[in-house]
Amino acid sequence: MTTTSLKLPDELKTQISEVAQGQNLSSHAFMVKAIEDAVSRAKLKAAWLAQGEQRLDAAQRTGKSVAADEVFAWMRERGAGRAAAAPKARKA
């Protein structure tokens, strides 16, 4: 494991200490977890964007897409906890 030094503004360091204490963590453990969470979110975002690019490419290549109103209806059903078949892509 490597050691990294961070220069933090005093106010931020105080806030970290307070929040960490409220979560029964050391400031160090809190910061490590915060960095891990940020890295995880960045990776998920990159994967999500890459998937979007792939889907856009497929839509442009095939001419098939899903109507937004069908997607929103499907999302409402899923959000309400009901089983719903995903809408199928078709040529416009």
- Residue 64 in contact with residue 90, Cβ under 8 Å? yes
What is the distance between the alpha carbons of residues 50 and 57, in angstroms, rounded to a whole number? 11
Crossing angle for the helix pair 10-22 and 27-62, to the nearest 10 degrees: 90
Say which residue the tokens 């998937």 belong to: 51
Q: What is the pLDDT of residue 26?
A: 98
Predicted local distance difference test score (pLDDT) of residue 92: 78
Structural domain boundaries of the chain?
A: 64-92
Q: What are the mean pLDDT values of the chain's consecutive 10-residue runs (92 residues total)? A: 95 98 98 98 98 95 94 96 94 84
Q: Find where tokens 């199928």 sit.
A: 88
Residues 73, 80 contacting (CB under 8 angstroms): no
Which residues make beta-bridge pairs with 64? 91
Check residue 37 and give its pLDDT. 98
